[in-house]
Amino acid sequence: MPSTRLHVALIGAGRMAQTHAAVLATLPGVRVRAVCDPREAAARALAEPLGAAAVTEAARVFDDPHVDAVLITTPTPTHAALVTRAAEAGKHVFVEKPVAATLEEAERVVAAVARAGVACQVGFQRRFDPAYVEAKRLVDAGELGALEGFRGVSRDPAPPPLAFLRSSGGLMVDLGIHDLDTARFFVGEVREVYAVGSVQVEPRLKEYGLFDTAVATLRFDNGALGTLELGLRTAYGYDVRAEILGERGRLHLEMDSRLHLRRYDAAGGSFVRPRGFEERFFDAYRGELLTFFACLRAGQPVSPDAADATKSLQLALAAQRSLETGSAVAVATFREGVAA
């Protein structure tokens, strides 16, 4: 990969593409050449401020010899086919999580990327948040000693539209996969997962066997235990927390106050929380793309790659199966379509 300017294309022009576009506009040596979305107006609205072309057919991107890499932010069911097409066209790939909708698709992606010899990084941005990076350094340096526990919390301020929830793969796959990847990142592989859920926010989810609130327990290969709490409604803002417990201490990761400012008055104390993932993790989104492009320039492996992301997908799918069946699921042997 040349050390000169890299030319990239965005495939998808929705909320995540807008977040990445805001980051790309700040990166030196990177030019957005095209934005692709079947909704021409959406593609144009995102492309014009970037000085990029707006196209409606992905083939236009894959056939462009000047495009070095693609960023895929389309709905989950389209990921596997688009990553495979990009790899076959010799394009490096950054794809939003999950890498695919099913394990079978994910494994085909891993094989396609390996065959083509291109890089494929998957968007688990929390691994690049400054606090998470420092926590990982401390864990790897043995500062906590033997790891004994993990806790993850993810609560969105409000649920996305019902149409999205129906096609998202379920609460564990769409929302919980970030926390499950974080659990693997800090503590290691999960042996068994057990989850329970309820519908407290969007009553129509019951018709589709889906949940908007869930709790899971995790048993790690190293003997540590973990918990995960998920929800699609808060009255106080975006709520993401992680906690790693070891024999010599505990690390707690949370952005409690958006401005690091608290106001105290006759009513007590108050502060403003982040209202969404774009605000809370902007530095992380920037960090993951900086790392992606740095690896391309240096010819180094990217991380998390498709194979690593497949393990997080397997864990999330196992957790979703447990949520739907009420039974504990062994992660390493889990396959879709096979009874738990």
Q: How confident is the model at residue 258 (pLDDT cuts 50, 70, 90)?
A: low
In angstroms, the CA 151 to CA 115 distance is: 38
Task: Say which CATH superfamily domain 127-280+313-330 falls into.
Answer: Dihydrodipicolinate Reductase; domain 2 (3.30.360.10)
CB 86 within 8 A of CB 284: no
Task: State yes or no: pLDDT of 331 exceeds 50.
Answer: yes
Name the burial class of residue 218, with classes exposed (0-12), middle (13-18) and buried (19+) by CB atoms within 10 angstroms of its CB: buried
Chosen CATH of 6-126+283-305 out of 1.10.10.10, 3.30.70.1230, 3.40.50.720, 3.30.70.260: 3.40.50.720
In angstroms, the CA 198 to CA 190 distance is: 23
pLDDT in tens, 134-180: 999 999 999 999 999 999 999 999 999 999 899 889 999 999 999 99
pLDDT at site 240: 93
Report the pLDDT averaged over residues 45-61. 97
Sign of the torsion formed by the C-alpha atoms of 258, 158, 327 and 310: negative
pLDDT at site 257: 57
Lowest average pLDDT, out of 55-64, 132-141, 259-268, goes to 259-268
Q: Record the tokens describing residue 122, joined without a space.
A: 């998957």
- The terminus-to-terminus CA distance of the chain in angstroms comes to 45
Q: How confident is the model at residue 252 (pLDDT cuts 50, 70, 90)?
A: very high
Lowest average pLDDT, out of 110-124, 244-258, 307-321, goes to 244-258
Domain(s) of CATH 3.40.50.720: residues in the chain = 6-126+283-305
pTM summary value: 0.93
Task: State yes or no: pLDDT of 2 exceeds 60.
Answer: no
**If you average pLDDT over every residue of the chain, what do you get?**
93
Domain(s) of CATH 3.30.360.10: residues in the chain = 127-280+313-330
Q: Peptide bond before 98: cis, by omega within 30 degrees of 0?
A: yes
Q: Record the tokens describing residue 313, joined without a space.
A: 């997908």
Within 8 A by CB and 6+ apart from 52, the residues are: 9, 10, 32, 33, 34, 35
Q: How confident is the model at residue 237 (pLDDT cuts 50, 70, 90)?
A: confident
Q: Record the tokens describing residue 198, joined without a space.
A: 């309820």
Task: State yes or no: pLDDT of 3 exceeds 60.
Answer: no
Task: State yes or no: pLDDT of 5 exceeds 80.
Answer: yes
Task: State yes or no: pLDDT of 260 exceeds 70.
Answer: no
Within 8 A by CB and 6+ apart from 140, the residues are: none
**213: three-class secondary structure by DSSP:** strand
Task: State yes or no: pLDDT of 330 exceeds 70.
Answer: yes
